[in-house]
């Protein structure tokens, strides 16, 4: 699955896992997908205002509404930071919507900084 228009300046999900010491919790089949942009926020109200599709959401907001928000905003990839653990209810909804969820022990600041430095583009 390729979510970027061109493969230059994109980052594979597997590379993101490596950089963030992250595990894929669901959607392992998307490990080779390429992502162009990232957006870091704990505020779902802000995520819902984005016009960019198919980005990586980096968040510490770990609840069912994070999955719902991503479903509505056409976001297919989420990294939960600060060691937040995905619940069974979240997993079920994520699988239903073919989302790829990652868990990282890093802070939102550290995860965002590492991905930005490695070339993942911001939304704005």
Partner 1 sequence: MKLEFNIEGGNFSRAGHASSEVKKMLKQLGIDARCIKSIVIALYEGEVNVVAHAYEGRILVQMEPHKITTEIMDKGPGIPDIELAMQEGYSTASKEVREMGFGAGMGLANMKKNTDELTIESTVGQGTTVKMVNYF
Q: Hey, is 114 helix, strand or coil? A: helix
Rg of the Cα atoms in the chain: 13
CB of 41 to partner 1, least distance (A): 8
Q: Hey, is 55 helix, strand or coil? A: coil
- Tokens 């704990």 belong to residue: 42
CB of 55 to partner 1, least distance (A): 13
Site mask for partner 1 (CB under 8 A), range 54-93, x = bound: -------x-xxxx-xx-xxxx--------------x----
Q: What DSSP character marks residue 42? A: S
Q: What DSSP character marks residue 39? A: E
Q: Is 28 in the site for partner 1 (CB under 8 A)?
A: no
**Closest listed residue to residue 48, CA positions, set 20, 74, 81:** 74
Q: Is 49 in the site for partner 1 (CB under 8 A)?
A: yes
Q: Is 104 in the site for partner 1 (CB under 8 A)?
A: no
Q: Is 21 in the site for partner 1 (CB under 8 A)?
A: no
Q: Is 2 in the site for partner 1 (CB under 8 A)?
A: no
């Amino acid at each position: 699955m390729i979510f970027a228009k061109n493969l230059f300046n994109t980052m594979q999900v597997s590379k993101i896992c490596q950089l963030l010491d992250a595990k894929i919790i669901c959607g392992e089949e998307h490990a080779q997908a390429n992502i162009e942009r990232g957006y870091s926020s704990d505020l779902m109200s802000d995520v819902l205002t984005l016009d960019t599709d198919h980005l990586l959401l980096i968040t510490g907001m770990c609840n069912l509404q994070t999955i719902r928000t991503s479903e509505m905003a056409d976001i297919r990839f989420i990294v939960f930071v600060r060691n937040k653990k995905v619940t069974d209810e979240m997993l079920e909804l994520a699988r239903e919507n073919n989302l790829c969820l990652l868990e990282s022990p890093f802070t939102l600041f550290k995860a965002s900084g590492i991905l930005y430095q490695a070339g993942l583009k911001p939304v704005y």
